[in-house]
Protein backbone atom coordinates (compact mmCIF):
# COMPACT_ATOMS: atom_id res chain seq x y z
CA UNK A 1 0.00 0.00 0.00
CA UNK A 2 1.17 3.51 -0.68
CA UNK A 3 2.91 4.92 2.39
CA UNK A 4 0.95 8.13 2.45
CA UNK A 5 -2.33 6.24 2.26
CA UNK A 6 -1.23 4.00 5.09
CA UNK A 7 -0.48 7.02 7.25
CA UNK A 8 -3.77 8.65 6.34
CA UNK A 9 -5.70 5.53 7.31
CA UNK A 10 -3.77 5.28 10.56
CA UNK A 11 -4.57 8.88 11.41
CA UNK A 12 -8.23 8.28 10.53
CA UNK A 13 -8.39 5.29 12.88
CA UNK A 14 -6.81 7.38 15.59
CA UNK A 15 -9.19 10.26 15.16
CA UNK A 16 -12.39 8.24 14.76
CA UNK A 17 -11.76 4.97 16.55
CA UNK A 18 -15.22 3.45 16.35
CA UNK A 19 -16.22 4.80 13.03
CA UNK A 20 -13.41 3.79 10.71
CA UNK A 21 -12.25 0.23 10.16
CA UNK A 22 -8.88 -1.20 9.24
CA UNK A 23 -7.95 -0.40 5.68
CA UNK A 24 -8.34 -3.29 3.26
CA UNK A 25 -6.21 -3.50 0.17
CA UNK A 26 -7.26 -5.45 -2.90
CA UNK A 27 -6.33 -5.16 -6.57
CA UNK A 28 -4.04 -2.25 -5.76
CA UNK A 29 -6.82 -0.16 -4.19
CA UNK A 30 -7.38 0.78 -0.58
CA UNK A 31 -10.84 0.74 0.99
CA UNK A 32 -11.95 1.68 4.44
CA UNK A 33 -15.29 0.86 6.00
CA UNK A 34 -17.02 3.77 7.70
CA UNK A 35 -20.02 3.49 9.99
CA UNK A 36 -23.13 5.20 8.75
CA UNK A 37 -23.47 7.59 11.67
CA UNK A 38 -19.98 8.97 11.40
CA UNK A 39 -19.89 9.36 7.64
CA UNK A 40 -20.20 13.14 7.40
CA UNK A 41 -17.64 13.74 10.15
CA UNK A 42 -15.09 11.41 8.62
CA UNK A 43 -15.71 12.83 5.17
CA UNK A 44 -15.30 16.41 6.34
CA UNK A 45 -12.06 15.53 8.10
CA UNK A 46 -10.73 13.74 5.03
CA UNK A 47 -11.62 16.69 2.86
CA UNK A 48 -10.14 19.36 5.10
CA UNK A 49 -7.18 17.73 6.79
CA UNK A 50 -6.16 15.09 4.32
CA UNK A 51 -6.56 16.90 0.99
CA UNK A 52 -9.17 14.60 -0.57
CA UNK A 53 -10.82 17.54 -2.23
CA UNK A 54 -12.52 15.65 -5.04
CA UNK A 55 -15.39 13.22 -4.71
CA UNK A 56 -14.84 11.13 -7.79
CA UNK A 57 -17.74 8.70 -7.43
CA UNK A 58 -20.56 7.98 -4.97
CA UNK A 59 -22.55 4.95 -5.94
CA UNK A 60 -24.38 1.97 -4.54
CA UNK A 61 -24.29 -1.80 -4.99
CA UNK A 62 -27.09 -4.17 -4.03
CA UNK A 63 -25.72 -7.29 -2.37
CA UNK A 64 -29.00 -9.17 -2.11
CA UNK A 65 -28.40 -12.78 -1.03
CA UNK A 66 -24.65 -12.28 -1.03
CA UNK A 67 -24.33 -10.30 2.18
CA UNK A 68 -26.61 -10.50 5.22
CA UNK A 69 -29.58 -8.13 5.43
CA UNK A 70 -27.85 -5.50 7.58
CA UNK A 71 -25.23 -5.10 4.88
CA UNK A 72 -27.45 -5.30 1.84
CA UNK A 73 -26.60 -1.99 0.20
CA UNK A 74 -23.02 -0.90 -0.14
CA UNK A 75 -22.56 2.80 -0.78
CA UNK A 76 -19.05 3.39 -2.04
CA UNK A 77 -17.49 6.83 -2.14
CA UNK A 78 -14.34 7.14 -4.18
CA UNK A 79 -12.25 10.05 -2.99
CA UNK A 80 -9.40 11.53 -4.94
CA UNK A 81 -6.85 14.19 -4.39
CA UNK A 82 -6.51 16.86 -7.01
CA UNK A 83 -2.77 17.12 -7.32
CA UNK A 84 -1.40 13.91 -5.82
CA UNK A 85 -2.24 10.43 -7.16
CA UNK A 86 -4.07 9.38 -4.00
CA UNK A 87 -7.32 7.50 -4.08
CA UNK A 88 -9.36 6.05 -1.24
CA UNK A 89 -12.66 4.20 -1.17
CA UNK A 90 -15.07 4.69 1.71
CA UNK A 91 -17.58 1.90 2.16
CA UNK A 92 -20.82 2.48 4.01
CA UNK A 93 -23.23 -0.38 4.51
CA UNK A 94 -26.93 0.37 4.57
CA UNK A 95 -29.28 -2.33 5.89
CA UNK A 96 -32.35 -3.67 4.20
CA UNK A 97 -35.50 -2.18 5.72
CA UNK A 98 -33.80 0.97 6.97
CA UNK A 99 -32.41 2.41 3.79
CA UNK A 100 -31.20 5.76 4.97
CA UNK A 101 -27.79 7.31 4.88
CA UNK A 102 -26.47 10.75 5.77
CA UNK A 103 -25.98 12.96 2.77
CA UNK A 104 -22.57 14.08 1.57
CA UNK A 105 -23.92 17.17 -0.17
CA UNK A 106 -22.70 19.43 2.61
CA UNK A 107 -19.18 18.09 2.25
CA UNK A 108 -18.92 17.81 -1.52
CA UNK A 109 -21.70 19.39 -3.63
CA UNK A 110 -20.75 16.84 -6.28
CA UNK A 111 -22.78 14.29 -4.34
CA UNK A 112 -26.05 15.99 -5.22
CA UNK A 113 -27.05 14.28 -8.45
CA UNK A 114 -25.36 11.04 -7.48
CA UNK A 115 -27.49 10.73 -4.37
CA UNK A 116 -30.61 11.34 -6.42
CA UNK A 117 -29.45 8.57 -8.71
CA UNK A 118 -28.97 6.21 -5.77
CA UNK A 119 -32.42 7.09 -4.47
CA UNK A 120 -33.96 6.52 -7.89
CA UNK A 121 -32.30 3.18 -8.50
CA UNK A 122 -31.97 1.67 -5.04
CA UNK A 123 -34.40 3.53 -2.81
CA UNK A 124 -31.76 4.76 -0.38
CA UNK A 125 -32.91 7.99 1.27
CA UNK A 126 -30.26 10.56 2.05
CA UNK A 127 -30.88 12.68 5.11
CA UNK A 128 -29.95 16.27 4.55
CA UNK A 129 -30.28 16.22 0.78
CA UNK A 130 -32.06 19.41 -0.33
CA UNK A 131 -34.18 17.91 -3.10
CA UNK A 132 -34.34 14.12 -3.10
CA UNK A 133 -36.45 12.97 -6.01
CA UNK A 134 -36.11 10.69 -9.00
CA UNK A 135 -33.68 11.76 -11.64
CA UNK A 136 -33.76 9.20 -14.46
CA UNK A 137 -37.07 7.39 -14.23
CA UNK A 138 -40.35 9.27 -14.65
CA UNK A 139 -41.65 10.79 -11.40
CA UNK A 140 -44.55 8.39 -11.09
CA UNK A 141 -42.47 5.24 -11.63
CA UNK A 142 -42.96 2.48 -9.12
CA UNK A 143 -40.04 0.56 -7.74
CA UNK A 144 -36.30 0.94 -7.78
CA UNK A 145 -34.92 -0.54 -11.00
CA UNK A 146 -31.38 -1.48 -10.10
CA UNK A 147 -32.26 -3.54 -7.09
CA UNK A 148 -31.60 -7.21 -7.61
CA UNK A 149 -35.22 -8.17 -7.01
CA UNK A 150 -36.48 -5.82 -9.71
CA UNK A 151 -36.84 -7.65 -13.04
CA UNK A 152 -34.93 -6.58 -16.12
CA UNK A 153 -38.15 -5.95 -18.02
CA UNK A 154 -38.45 -6.05 -21.77
CA UNK A 155 -40.43 -8.22 -24.14
CA UNK A 156 -40.06 -11.66 -25.63
CA UNK A 157 -38.23 -11.53 -28.92
CA UNK A 158 -39.50 -13.46 -31.88
CA UNK A 159 -37.06 -15.98 -33.26
CA UNK A 160 -37.62 -18.59 -35.94
CA UNK A 161 -40.19 -21.40 -35.75
CA UNK A 162 -42.66 -19.06 -34.07
CA UNK A 163 -40.75 -18.95 -30.79
CA UNK A 164 -40.72 -15.90 -28.55
CA UNK A 165 -37.61 -15.99 -26.40
CA UNK A 166 -37.74 -14.03 -23.10
CA UNK A 167 -34.94 -11.71 -21.95
CA UNK A 168 -32.02 -13.37 -20.16
CA UNK A 169 -33.39 -13.09 -16.63
CA UNK A 170 -36.65 -14.86 -17.50
CA UNK A 171 -35.44 -17.69 -19.73
CA UNK A 172 -37.14 -21.00 -19.26
CA UNK A 173 -40.57 -19.46 -19.16
CA UNK A 174 -43.35 -19.07 -21.68
CA UNK A 175 -42.05 -18.89 -25.23
CA UNK A 176 -45.30 -18.61 -27.12
CA UNK A 177 -46.23 -14.94 -26.78
CA UNK A 178 -44.55 -11.59 -26.99
CA UNK A 179 -45.02 -10.95 -23.29
CA UNK A 180 -45.84 -7.33 -24.10
CA UNK A 181 -48.83 -6.07 -22.15
CA UNK A 182 -51.72 -4.96 -24.33
CA UNK A 183 -50.55 -6.63 -27.55
CA UNK A 184 -52.27 -9.53 -29.28
CA UNK A 185 -49.80 -12.44 -29.23
Partner 1 sequence: MSASEVFVGGQDWDVVSTRTGEDTLVINMGPQHPSTHGVLRLVLEIDGETIVNAKSVVGYLHTGIEKNTEVRNWVQGVTFVTRMDYLAPFHNEIAYCLGVERLLGITAPERAQVIRVLLAELNRISSHLVWLATSGMELGALSMMLYGFREREMILDIFEHITGLRMNHAYVRPGGLSTDLPDGSIEKIREFLDSFPKRIDEYEGLLSENPTWIDRNAGIGILDAETAIGLGVTGPLLRAAGVPRDLRKTESTLPYERYDFDVAVDDAADCLARFRVRVKEMRESLRICRQVIDDLPGGPVMIEDPKIAWPAKLGLGPDGLGNEPGYIQKIMGESMEALIHHFKLVTEGFKVPAGEVYVPIESPRGELGYHLVSSGGTRPWRVHVRDPSFINLQAMPGMVRGHLLADVVAVVASLDPVMGGVDR
Partner 2 sequence: MGLEEHLPSGILLTNVTNFVQWARKSSLWPATFGLACCAIEMMATGASHHDIARFGMEVFRASPRQADLMIVAGRVSQKMGPVLRTIYDQMPEPKWVISMGVCATSGGMFNNYAIIQGVDQIVPVDIYVPGCPPRPEMLMDGILKLHEKIKNTPLVIR
Q: Which residues bind partner 1 (CB under 8 A)?
A: 26-29, 31, 53-57, 59, 61-62, 66, 76, 78, 80, 82-83, 85, 87, 89, 108-114, 131, 133-139, 145-146, 152-153, 167-169
From the CB of 108, what's the least distance to partner 2, in Å?
Answer: 28
Tell me whether residue 68 or residue 151 sits nearer to partner 2 (CB atom).
151
Q: Among 141, 148, 163, 176, which residue interacts with partner 2 (rule: CB under 8 A)?
A: 141
Site string for partner 2, 160-179 (x = CB under 8 A): -------x------------
Which residue among 37, 109, 152, 163 contacts partner 2 (CB under 8 A)? 152
If you count them, how many residues does the chain have? 185
Establish if 128 lies at the interface with partner 2 (CB under 8 A). Answer: no
Q: How far is the CB of 100 from partner 1 (least distance, A)?
A: 20
- Is the Cα dihedral 64, 66, 70, 74 positive or negative? negative
> Does 113 sit near partner 2 (CB under 8 A)?
no
Continuous H helices in the chain: 3-15, 39-48, 111-122
159 binds partner 2 (CB under 8 A): no
Burial class (CB in 10 A: 0-12, 13-18, 19+), 58: buried
Q: Residue 53 contacts by C-beta under 8 Å, 6 or more apart in sequence?
A: 47, 81, 82
User: Can you tell me the distance from the alpha carbon of 89 to that of 57, in angstroms, rounded to the nearest whole number?
Assistant: 9
DSSP codes joined into one string, 114-151 = HHHHHHHHH--EEET-TT---SSS-TT--S-TTSTTS-
Q: In the set 37, 113, 157, 163, which binds partner 2 (CB under 8 A)?
A: 157
Amino acid sequence: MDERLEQICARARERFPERVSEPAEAFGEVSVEVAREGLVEVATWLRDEEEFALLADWSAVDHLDVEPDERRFLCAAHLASVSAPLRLRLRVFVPDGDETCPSLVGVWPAADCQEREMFDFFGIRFEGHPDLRRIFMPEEWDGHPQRKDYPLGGTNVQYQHGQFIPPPDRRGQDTTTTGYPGRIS
